[in-house]
Every structure is written in structure tokens, then in C-alpha cells.
């Protein structure tokens, strides 16, 4: 995977990210509230130093349940402090004892609900981030922060989507093309397939960034209203260009798989040029019954706030932002600075 082009220019400085998990805090913004009764026990947990999959496995063992009986809405980072909901399916069973939660996990709330917590249930994530050892020209940094607040950023999938060592795409590609070993577990299969679709999406979006149309209408675009999942052809809306410019709707790019809603015109030509070398890989996705979909190319950064060093402290930048579920804070940070991790 090559470096992705940035919409607002190169980074304007550098800093240290995740000096401690407390410097990367995430809170799920939910639209569903547990009803207080039902077969599923919903747990609001604060975790530190664990990823979502590891905590789900620990909860299954604690409650003596199969892993499939544990639900969660989204995957969260290990090197972070995150407030996240989980569910346990307990038909006809009492609530388990929760005194032995893993180290670094705190119970914030517990309530029964009639349904399992499924992926994508939460609406957004709220991030509170601290960058230390900041080295940046204050005027340039202020300009970049203002640009991101006003225009958003390209909605790239972040590095987390591609595995701890960044090799999920290459391993999945080799498997799908019959040149490597298959994933050993269903969960790994899902991650690999997701990595392939995410990488191909990123490649199409990168070309739109190069052509300065990641946030502009192309003839034949498929559009997505802000905050909604529905899609519609731009050609059906006489006001499409004005609505894109106003941020009411966003252009989209393909998440390849079996045939889905297709673009046309200039948009289709751009997508076909990027994806043509990957025809065999996309065919393999379809054979594995992966449905085609589309994802917005523009990521608005809601409730974006910052404290520069004169307010936050010497060499410190504090950022707050709300992003829709499935978006990555690291894609916003990449438009600002380059980072070192501890």
C-alpha cells in the first residue's frame, strides 16, 4: 500500500501520538437505549489497553457463553481509553457476576434489552486526543485546522483497518487469488475481506483527491445524504452540485464486491481506470458472496475543537471531534501532522 495523497497539502508539523492510552479517548454516541428488560444484558464498559475482540472473548468466558452470544457495535483501538457497549445473550439466565472483569476494564452501566447489540448500532464516536512534543508553525497549524473544520477530509480507511502489521490486504489478496493460505478463523476471514474492499476504496478515493474531486460532483456520481445510509444517482437531482457544495450530500466511491449500485459517466470512467487492474480480485470477492456497496468520499469533522500550546500547555495540542461510525480519527490527524508512536 502506497502513501495516500492529502487534500489540504502536506503535514504542517509533527508530534507524539498515544504517549499513553489516556491521550486517545473514544466514546460511543448511541441512538439506542436499553429498555430495562429482555434476554440481552447490555454492558457499558470503559476499557484501557484491550481491543474490542479481546474484551468480547473475555466477556464470553466470564459469562460462560459462546463468543457468538456477545455483541458489540464497533471495533475500538487497544492503545486507547474507550467507552463502549457490549451485549450478552442470556435467555432464561440471571446476570453473571461481573466482579472479575479483566484488568483495565470498568463497568459504567448495565441494563437488559430485548435485542442483541449488532455491528453499526452506534451513530458516531466522540474523540478527545492529546498530541505531545508538538513541533509546528502556529500560523500554518491554525490555517490547517480551520480548513479541516470548514471542508472536512477525504474519508479514507485508517491504518487500523489493515491489521497490526498492515499486511491484511496482501495476505487476503494472495488467498483470494489462490496464491496463499486461507484464513484459519471466520473472524479473520471477515477482517481480510474487509481489508481488500477498504484498500480498493482508498485507491479510488486517492485518485479523486489527486483530481481535486473528492468533495466535488462528478457526472454520474452516486450520492449519499449527510448522516444517512441511502444512495441516489446525482443525475436524478437537478440541485445535486449545489447540495454537494453545501455539504448536504456527499459523493461516494465503491466498496467492491458483487454487483451493486453503479455510477456512470465521468465517475464510472475514473473508477474503472483505478479498479481495472484488480478485476480478478473483485471477481473473487463476488464469488465469496461479498456484496458491493458505496462509501462517502468526504468526511465532515463535526464539533471540531482544539487547544493550541498556549492554552493546552507547552508542546501540547488537544483535539476534540465527533465522527460517524466507521470513520477514522487518524485520517483527520494525517491532514495535520506526521506522528511518532511510543
Decide if 54 is catalytic.
no
For the cut 80, the answer to whether the pLDDT of residue 332 exceeds it is yes
Q: For residue 338, what are the β-bridge partners?
A: 14
pTM metric for this prediction: 0.92
Q: What pLDDT band is residue 342 in, cutting at 50, 70 and 90?
A: low
Query: Which 3-state string (H, E, C) describes the chain?
Result: CCCCCCCCCCCCEEEEECCCHHHEEEEEECCCCCCCCCCEEEEEEEEECCCHHHHHHHHHHHHCCCHHHEEECCCCCCCCEEEEEEEEECCCCCCCCCCCCCCCEEEEEEEEECCCCCCCCCCEEEEEEEEEEEEECHHHHHHHHHHHHHHCEECCCCHHHHCCCCCHHHHHHHHHCCCCCCCCCHHHHHHHHHHHHHHHHHHHHHHHHHCCCCCCCCCCCEEEECCCCCCEEHHHCCCHHHHHHCCCEEEEEEECCECCCCCCHHHHHHHHHHHHHHHHHHHHHHHCCCECEEEECEECCEEEEEECHHHHCCCCEEEEEEEECCCCHHHHHCCCCEEEEC
Q: Which of 23, 77, 83, 221 is catalytic?
A: 77
Q: Which residues contact 196 (CB under 8 A, 6 or more apart)?
A: 169, 172, 173, 176, 256, 281, 285
pLDDT for res 2:
62
Q: What is the mean pLDDT of the chain?
A: 94
Q: For residue 17, what are the β-bridge partners?
A: 131, 341
Identify the weakest region by mean pLDDT among 139-148, 187-196, 316-325.
187-196
**pLDDT tens profile 284-301:** 999 999 999 999 999 999
Q: Residues 245-265: what's their mean pLDDT?
A: 94
pLDDT for res 192:
93
222 vs 180, higher pLDDT: 222
**pLDDT tens profile 3-40:** 899 999 989 999 999 999 999 999 999 989 899 999 99
**pLDDT tens profile 62-103:** 999 999 999 999 989 899 999 999 999 999 999 999 988 999
pLDDT for res 1:
52
Give percent of the chain above pLDDT 70: 99
pLDDT for res 238:
95
Distance CA 326, CA 274 (A): 23
Q: Which residues contact 121 (CB under 8 A, 6 or more apart)?
A: 30, 31, 32, 73, 85
Q: Cβ atoms within 10 A of the Cβ of 140, count?
A: 13
Identify the weakest region by mean pLDDT among 123-132, 182-191, 252-261, 280-289.
182-191
Contact 2, 76 (CB under 8 A): no
- C-alpha cell at position 17: 501520538
Contact 292, 218 (CB under 8 A): no
Instruction: For CA atoms 203, 205, 209, 212, give the dihedral sign.
Output: positive
Q: Which residues contact 178 (CB under 8 A, 6 or more apart)?
A: none
pLDDT for res 166:
78
Domains annotated for the chain, with CATH where assigned, are: 13-22+124-151+301-341 (3.30.2350.20), 32-113 (3.30.2350.20), 157-299 (3.30.2340.10)
Q: How many residues does the chain have?
A: 342
Q: Residues 290-315: what's their mean pLDDT?
A: 95
Backbone dihedral region of 220: left (phi > 0), alpha (psi from -120 to 50 degrees) or beta?
Answer: left
Residue for cell digits 484464513? 183
Backbone angles phi, psi at 208, to 5 degrees: -65, -35
Q: What pLDDT band is residue 184 in, cutting at 50, 70 and 90?
A: confident
pLDDT for res 322:
98
How far does Cα 65 stand from its chain's mean position?
28
Distance CA 233, CA 151 (A): 23
Name the residue among 93, 3, 108 with its Cα closest to residue 48. Answer: 108
Amino acid at each position: 500500500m502506497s502513501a495516500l495523497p492529502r487534500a489540504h497539502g502536506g503535514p504542517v508539523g509533527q508530534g507524539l501520538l498515544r504517549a499513553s492510552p489516556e491521550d486517545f479517548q473514544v466514546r460511543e454516541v448511541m441512538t439506542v437505549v436499553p429498555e430495562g428488560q429482555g434476554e440481552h444484558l447490555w454492558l457499558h464498559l470503559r476499557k484501557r489497553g484491550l481491543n474490542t475482540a479481546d474484551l468480547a472473548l473475555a466477556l464470553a468466558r466470564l459469562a460462560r457463553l459462546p463468543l457468538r452470544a456477545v455483541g458489540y457495535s464497533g471495533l475500538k483501538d487497544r492503545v486507547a481509553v474507550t467507552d463502549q457497549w457490549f451485549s450478552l445473550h442470556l435467555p432464561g439466565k440471571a446476570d453473571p457476576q461481573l466482579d472479575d472483569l479483566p484488568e483495565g476494564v470498568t463497568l459504567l452501566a448495565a441494563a437488559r434489552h430485548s435485542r442483541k447489540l449488532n455491528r453499526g448500532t452506534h451513530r458516531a464516536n466522540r474523540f478527545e486526543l492529546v498530541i505531545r512534543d508538538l513541533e509546528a508553525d502556529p500560523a500554518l497549524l491554525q490555517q490547517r485546522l480551520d480548513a479541516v473544520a470548514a471542508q472536512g477530509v477525504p474519508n479514507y480507511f485508517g491504518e487500523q483497518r489493515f491489521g497490526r502489521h498492515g499486511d491484511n490486504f496482501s495476505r487476503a489478496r494472495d488467498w483470494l487469488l489462490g496464491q496463499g493460505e486461507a484464513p484459519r478463523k471466520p473472524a479473520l476471514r471477515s477482517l481480510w475481506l474487509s481489508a481488500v474492499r477498504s484498500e480498493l476504496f482508498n485507491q479510488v478515493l486517492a485518485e479523486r483527491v489527486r483530481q481535486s474531486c473528492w468533495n466535488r460532483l462528478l457526472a454520474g456520481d452516486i450520492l449519499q445524504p449527510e448522516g444517512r445510509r441511502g444512495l441516489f444517482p446525482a443525475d436524478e437531482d437537478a440541485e445535486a452540485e449545489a447540495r454537494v457544495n453545501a455539504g448536504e450530500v456527499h459523493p461516494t466511491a465503491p466498496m467492491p464486491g458483487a454487483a451493486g449500485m453503479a455510477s456512470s459517466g465521468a465517475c464510472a470512467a475514473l473508477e474503472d481506470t483505478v479498479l481495472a487492474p484488480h478485476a480478478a480480485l473483485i471477481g473473487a470477492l463476488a464469488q465469496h458472496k461479498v456484496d458491493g456497496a458505496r462509501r462517502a468520499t468526504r468526511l465532515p469533522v463535526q464539533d471540531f475543537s482544539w487547544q493550541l500550546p498556549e492554552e493546552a500547555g507547552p508542546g501540547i495540542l488537544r483535539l476534540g471531534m465527533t465522527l460517524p461510525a466507521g470513520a477514522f480519527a487518524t485520517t483527520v490527524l494525517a491532514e495535520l501532522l506526521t506522528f511518532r508512536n511510543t
